[in-house]
Structure 1
């Protein structure tokens, strides 16, 4: 199978760290969608949010999804909001991608994200509350978008090995 493996899930669930390791184990290319957008735009995600708002970022993200979905044999780490939009899910599936939801319990995510300074949606004084509210909103959408759910509370190397074994 050479369709892309698309990792989705909440901020801090390990999409990038797991994705890099899984790609290496499976001899696939790795793509971090946010980094792809940053290279293409010549701006950091936070700068895109500042200049164009969330809507402007989401437009750029949707275009990047369509481009990546046409490629094959990749492990793709989505941004935390990518699969919340049905057109993005449809584009990945149209390209024969398999979407995996990396499921991490809320307390673990709270801990992982407590010192984050780069995610625009978390740069608020009531961070724990924002994380909890976003988590409650987004998790059902991740589950709905995903073809498979992977328990991802373990170290990235363990989760990557589980994914590789499932696809090799």
Structure 2
């Protein structure tokens, strides 16, 4: 959530030549509606099932850079699926940076309404330990997207 996954993912695509897929966009294309509408019309549970399906479909492909939605990694099944065919990278970003990045964006379904900052803080506290536990690599996400992408590639190269 506002860690820069999509931006860094696109940069990784450019630098590595691997195809980039944003999982939320993938789900939107397959369902024919934006994530916000999926949440409002069908609820979070229905969305999470689409997310599980997307994890299975995308993890079965080779040479992809995948940006999951913020909640995908909180489900152990998704983590297991993604780890079978790849490496999970966590872009570590402090809550203050996340709050600054989200201030003008009103499109996130879990952050709609008047308590956006409080909800973001709660999600951050809930998800941080899960992200860290799932991650094969943890990278400082506060640097520029190019620097973050280069750091990811350098770590991947040195771990081979």
Q: Same fold (TM over 0.5)?
A: yes
Query: Which residues of structure 2 form unaligned runs of 5+?
Result: none
Query: Which residues of structure 1 form unaligned runs of 5+?
Result: 1-10
Residue 147 (structure 1) aligned to one of 132, 136, 141: 136
Superposed CA RMSD in Å reads 0.9
Cα displacement (A) at 1:133: 1.0
The equivalent residue for 2:59 is 69
Specify the SS of the correspondent of 1:101: strand
Structure of higher RCO (CA pairs closer than 8 Å, 6+ residues apart):
1
Residue 106 (structure 1) aligned to one of 90, 95, 106: 95
The equivalent residue for 2:80 is 90
Deviations 1:96-139 (A, max 9, x none): 21001110011111100111111001112121111111111110
Residue 30 (structure 2) aligned to one of 25, 32, 40: 40
Cα displacement (A) at 1:165: 2.2
> Runs in 1 of length 4+ with deviation above 3 angstroms?
none
TM (norm. structure 2) is: 0.95
Residue 55 (structure 1) aligned to one of 45, 58, 66: 45
> Quick check: which one's helix share is greater?
2
Aligned mates of 2:155, 2:138 — CA distance in 1? 12
CA contact (8 A) 1:106 1:135 kept: yes
TM (norm. structure 1) is: 0.91
Aligned mates of 1:117, 1:128 — CA distance in 2? 12
Note if 1:133 corresponds to 2:122: yes
